[in-house]
């Protein structure tokens, strides 16, 4: 099982401002979006999914409920904002 922990260079940015599972605090992970109540970057979940890691594998690796992983992935899919070229 391959789990990616570093950032992925993608063409899209995700607006996490309305996701109830994510928070952005300047003092936590330098202001990167993290799972609410943790220091875990939400991009770790999304990047792994984008690389083909299954929801169940992500949930197991990061010790998250599978429904939380599914909700984060669904939110990411519906809130991607393309970067202008």
Provide the terminal-to-terminal Cα distance of the chain, rounded to the nearest Å: 35
Tens-binned pLDDT, residue by residue, of the chain (85 aa): 555 544 444 446 899 999 999 999 999 999 999 999 999 999 999 999 999 999 999 999 999 999 999 999 999 999 987 644 4
How far apart are alpha carbons 47 and 57 in whole angstroms?
A: 13
pTM of the predicted model as reported, rounded to 2 decimal places: 0.78
How crowded is residue 55: how many other Cβ atoms within 10 Å of its Cβ? 18
SS3 53: coil
Q: What is the largest CA-CA distance in the chain?
A: 37
**Rg (Cα) of the chain, in Å, rounded?**
12
* Residue from 64, 57, 11, 67 nearest 41 by CA: 64
Q: Which domains does the chain have, with CATH numbers?
A: 12-82 (1.10.10.10)
């Amino acid at each position: 099982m391959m789990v990616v922990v570093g950032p992925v260079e993608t063409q899209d940015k995700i607006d996490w401002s309305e996701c109830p599972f994510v928070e952005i605090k300047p003092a936590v992970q330098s202001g990167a979006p993290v799972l609410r109540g943790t220091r875990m970057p939400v991009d770790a979940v999304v990047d792994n999914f984008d690389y083909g890691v299954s929801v169940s594998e992500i949930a197991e690796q990061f010790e998250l409920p599978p429904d939380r992983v599914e909700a984060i992935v669904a939110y990411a899919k519906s809130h991607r904002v393309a970067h202008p070229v």
